[in-house]
Amino acid sequence: MTEALVLTHGGAANDAAVADGCQAACAAALDALGRGGSALDAAVAAVVVLEDDERMNAGTGSTLRLDGSIQTDAAVMDARGFGAVAGLEGIKNPVRVARAVYETPHRLIVGRGARELALRVGLPEAELATARAREKHAARMQTLGSGMFAALWADVPQVFWQKAAQAGGACDTVGAVVRAADGSFAAAGSTGGIWCALPGRVGDVPIPGAGIHVGEAGAVVATGVGELIWAELLCARVHEAMAGGVPAQRAVDDAIAAVRARHPEVDVGLLAVDRRGGGAAVTAQMPWARAQR
């Protein structure tokens, strides 16, 4: 038996002051383990707490897309399997739907099918847009030139991306990595996506190897601009380093240093846990917490 270890985060570029929410999520994960739950149960329990925390961009409080809609992505993974949803609308805890997908023969279910699965397994619906998220969206749309810009993006996507990036990229996504006392690993992540994304855009969170990865050497989750995390297959790379004997902290430090060198303008954060310990690294700032027993 080993020491159980949990790390949680509240998103690259999010305010460090919300780290108390990450601590509460760690406590929920340890509680799930204490009740005999698996590493996967613990990762899900942690992310449910973060999704219900309105200060985070996941579940309630998710960011609005360019058209004012909310579409969420979430994933769960352990060394045995993977389940994810993308473009899910109006369900309180997307990570629970990802957990339900994990139990099916499928790996990723999107849109209407994901919502139908959620309702079929009895998961509650919710209004995910908060007043704070609506205000942020309105302010960003103002920066983008509102009506005129909204008409423009359909024809000139490049201009859209440049302007959207200037208006503020990723932030506040949530994630958790867990090592249970039996040495098994799991990870979970959930997000409303990046600010002012096109409807239907899917980020890194529900893509194994990109925003989440678990294998025999450990568990990894990422946060930040999903397009970059995906292109770099960042979590798979960190896991590969750990499998080669690099400790978790050094593996995430190296990955962040590489991102910073190539893309100094992009916010990215990583959490990892391996057989020996855990690590967190970020290009700028990221609220996170760890707990063990």
Measured distance CA(100)–CA(214) in Å, rounded: 18
Contact 198, 158 (CB under 8 A): no
Binding site for ligand ASP (CB under 6 A): 11-12, 57, 170-173, 191, 193-194, 203-205, 211, 223-226, 229
Report the nearest approach of ligand ASP to the CB of residue 194 (Å).
Answer: 5
Provide the token pair at 191: 């997000």
In the complex, the smallest distance separating the C-beta of residue 38 from ligand ASP, rounded to whole angstroms, is 25
Provide the minimum distance between the beta carbon of 286 and ligand ASP in the complex, in angstroms, as a whole number. 9
257 contacts: CB under 8 Å, gap ≥ 6: none
What lies within 8 Å, CB to CB, of 228 at 6+ separation is 259, 263, 266, 268
Q: What share of the chain is helix, strand, coil (3-state, %, to 5)?
A: 40, 25, 40
Least distance from ligand ASP to the Cβ atom of residue 119, Å: 24
**Would you tell me the crossing angle of helices 131-144 and 157-166 to the nearest 10 degrees?**
120
Q: Name the residue nearer to ligand ASP (CB basis): 204 or 274.
A: 204
Question: Which one, 11 or 83, has the nearer CB to ligand ASP?
Answer: 11
Comparison of 201 and 276: residue with beta carbon closer to ligand ASP: 201
CA distance 261 to 255: 10
Q: Which is nearer to ligand ASP, 180 or 213 (by Cβ)?
A: 213
- Residue 105 C-beta: closest distance to ligand ASP, Å: 26
Shortest approach of ligand ASP to residue 70 CB, angstroms? 13
DSSP string, 9-28: E--TT--GGGHHHHHHHHHH
The smaller minimum CB distance to ligand ASP, of residues 77 and 246, is found at 77
DSSP label of 124: P
CB of 163 closer than 8 Å to CB of 149: yes
What positions carry a catalytic annotation?
Answer: 173
Task: Pick between residue 94 and residue 211 the one whose CB is nearest to ligand ASP.
Answer: 211
CA distances from 70 to 66, 94, 106, 228, 283 (A): 9, 12, 24, 22, 27
Computed on alpha carbons and rounded to an integer, the radius of gyration of the chain in Å comes to: 18
Closest to 219 in 3D by CA, of 182, 178, 174: 178
